[in-house]
Each structure stands twice: as C-alpha cells, then as structure tokens.
Amino acid sequence: MIEVENLHKSFGEAHILKGISTTFEQGKTNLVIGQSGSGKTVFLKSLLGLFEPEQGKICYNGDYYWDLTSAEQRDLRQQMGMVFQGSALFDSMTVQENVMFPMDMFTKQSKGEMQDRVDFVLKRVNLIDAHEKYPAEISGGMQKRVAIARAIVMNPKYLFCDEPNSGLDPKTAILIDNLIQEITQEYNITTVINTHDMNSVMEIGEKIIFLKDGYKEWEGTNKEIFKTDNEAVTNFVYSSELFKKVRQMYIEERN
C-alpha cells in the first residue's frame, strides 16, 4: 500500500502538486489520469522517490521514504519496478540480457539462479522464444512485455508504469493492460499507472485519481466514473465522440 498525504511539490515559482492525498491499495491497478501539465509525471516521480516534497508525505507500507536511512532507501527502491513509456530497453542487449540487468546490478545470485528467474518471468509474459533476440528484432508489443518482465524480475512490492500503452495498436494495448492487471493480482503488487488511454480506464481502473492543475480533482473506480457529475472529469474522459455515445447509452440505460 502507498499512502499519500497532503503532497506539495514546487520547482522555483511553479507550484506543481497542490495538496494531493490518496491511497493506492495492494493488489489493485491504480490509475492516474489528467491532461498534459496536470502534474502526473511529477507525481509519479515523487512516488518513485526522485523528488522530495516540500510538504506532505508518501508512505510505503507505513514507511516514509525521506525518514529512511540511505541504506533503507536503497532497499525500498529495489522493491520498486518501473515500466517506462518507451520501454527503455538497451538496444545492444538481448531480451534475456535486458531482463537480467537489474539482478546483475543489485543481487549476488549465481548465473544459474538469475537464468532461472529470467526464464520464469519471460514465460509469465508469454515470451518463451525471444531470449536471444534484440529489441530491434521484436514488435512494440513484445518490447512492452520485455519491459514488464524486467520490472517484475526482482519480485517488486510496487510497480509503476508510465503510459505503458503508448504507441501500441488498440488490440495490443488491451493485452498489455490485461497482463499488468493479472500480474498485479497474482503477486499482490501495489501498481500505479500514469495513462491517457481511456480503454485502460474503463478496463482496469480499479482505483482512478484525476489530476487537474496539480490538484486531485476526483477519485473513484471505473464504474463510478460513468456516474460522476464532475464536469472536468467528464470533459476529459468523454472528449471523443465515441465515449460521449458510450456515456449517453449508459445514462439512458439508468433511466
């Protein structure tokens, strides 16, 4: 579980995060949505411990990151997995080497132990025969799955994803969504996802917070987002004609 209490973050005169409080539950897919410039990226980097807030706290299972010693902070960071927007794979490394990289850096496991773990996570993300391929030799969807495998190879308690569906076709994006949700539930991870993808909101938004101008404007579930009367939320979620029609159909069914 991650608990955020009255979080403020500024850069010079720019006040980016303005008193955000929320809780991200373990074993659930927690989504952060909002327009560009709403503070999502700064919020995610704050959760990762990259930015120290001027005010407020972020607690990981009761531990406040900035109260920990350097060694304790390092241990906590090793409990975090990250899926970057562009996958961020090393072009000169094979799939297997990319996934093994965190273990090479942070563990003293034998090569055999690391190989067993790599085999396991690649199988878990349905990449059985891709070990020796390079990122340029596989599709965008496969690259995302490699990134997910690398993010979970260290058995993280916390998984952070920055626009995991960016650049993917709708069908592949749904597969990635489902995979993230399955892994979250299977390993009881606290997962936080920054996204603009409304399909993700509808499909896996077990907890959603909507940021606007650095404030938490709304929070709820993917079921509750259909019912909200918050104008800022509805304007964002139903900005396309398709989703406007979906919302209208839902309202008509309720009536």
In 3D, which of 224, 219, 228, 169 has the Cα closest to residue 199?
169
Instruction: Please report whether residue 229 resides in a domain.
Output: no
What sign results for the dihedral spanned by CA atoms 90, 96, 97, 98? positive
Q: Do residues 1 and 73 share a domain?
A: yes
| Element housing 6 (H / E) | strand 2-11
List CB contacts of 155: < 8 A, sequence separation 6 or more.
Answer: 187
What confidence score (pLDDT) does residue 234 get? 85
* CATH number of domain containing 16: 3.40.50.300
What confidence score (pLDDT) does residue 243 get? 65
What confidence score (pLDDT) does residue 11 get? 94
Q: How far is the C-alpha of 134 from the C-alpha of 92, rounded, in Å?
A: 7
Q: In the structure, what pLDDT confidence band is assigned to residue 255 with cuts at 50, 70 and 90?
A: low
Instruction: Please report whether residue 145 resides in a domain.
Output: yes
187: containing domain: 1-79+156-220
What mean pLDDT is predicted for residues 27-33? 95
Q: Do residues 21 and 113 share a domain?
A: no
Number of domains comprising the chain: 2
Instruction: Please report whether residue 118 resides in a domain.
Output: yes
Q: Do residues 65 and 2 share a domain?
A: yes
Q: How far is the C-alpha of 44 from the C-alpha of 42, rounded, in Å?
A: 5
**Residue type present at position 187:** Y
Q: How far is the C-alpha of 151 from the C-alpha of 47, rounded, in Å?
A: 16
Q: In the structure, what pLDDT confidence band is assigned to residue 139 with cuts at 50, 70 and 90?
A: very high
**pTM strictly above 0.85:** yes
What mean pLDDT is predicted for residues 155-181? 90
pLDDT tens-digit readout, 192-249? 999 988 888 888 999 999 999 999 999 999 888 878 888 888 888 877 666 667 666 7
pLDDT tens-digit readout, 1-18? 999 999 999 999 999 999
Tell me the DSSP string of 187-248. Answer: TT-EEEEE---HHHHHHH-SEEEEEETTEEEEEE-TTGGGT---HHHHHHHT-SHHHHHHHH
Residue 138 has pLDDT above 70, yes or no: yes
Q: Are strands 55-60 and 2-11 parallel, antiparallel or unpaired?
A: antiparallel
C-alpha distances (whole Å) from 246 to each of 170, 210, 235, 250 are 17, 20, 13, 6
What confidence score (pLDDT) does residue 254 get? 60
